[in-house]
Amino acid sequence: MKRMLSRLVLTLLVVVGITSLTLRSTPVPTLDLDALTKDSSLIVTGEIASVRETGKTKLQFNGMELDARVGAGTIRVNQVLKGNAPAEGVSFQTYISDTYIGWASPRTNSYAIYFLKADSSGNTQFTSPYYPDVPTVPTSVVSEGAPIDKSNISNQRGLVLTRNHPEPKKQGLFIF
């Protein structure tokens, strides 16, 4: 009986030890639509038509130097909510860290509201690496010439899949 209990305790310790080595937790900022809207020079609805890796770089993040891949892509625009977008779509540049730090990676063929801005070199990039988009359904339409404000973004969202983690399995469905 004592031997069986010892084996059980040892097994539990091994399982807990292995599990703790494989778990990772990365804090990310809370989704703030007001800040994303204010900080973005371009907000569009549509879907990412393509993303391709164009090179590698080193990024400074929280005092650390990280290896990252540089990506370039195109958003097929359905509607412009803020700013001006070319009819052929919006080209963007993104960074994908080789070390998981909570940044979301753009996914092709997913319909969403995309929040973009120009970087210091004039390249269009996502306003937030954590929340490059807010998934939505392609049914809402904001009237032509409507001013951009929180209510327009909220109305555009409709049914939204929130994304606190870039993996689709970790998304939740909320009705706004």
Report the distance separating Cα 12 and Cα 17, nearest Å: 8
Residues 98-156: tens digit of each pLDDT: 888 788 888 888 889 999 998 888 889 999 988 888 888 876 555 555 445 544 555 55
Report the distance separating Cα 25 and Cα 140, nearest Å: 35
Angle formed at CA 49 by CA 146 and CA 113, multiple of 5 degrees = 30
**Percentage of residues in the chain having pLDDT higher than 90:** 26
Q: What is the pLDDT of residue 46?
A: 92
Residues 40-58: tens digit of each pLDDT: 999 999 999 999 999 999 9
Residues 128-143: tens digit of each pLDDT: 988 888 888 876 555 5
Q: What domains lie within the chain, and their CATH numbers?
A: 28-175 (2.40.50)
Residue 70, beta-bridge partner list: 55, 95
Instruction: Indicate the pTM of the whole model.
Output: 0.67
- In which region does residue 92 sit, left (phi positive, over 0), alpha (psi from -120 to 50) or beta (all else)? beta
Residues 62-76: tens digit of each pLDDT: 788 889 899 999 999
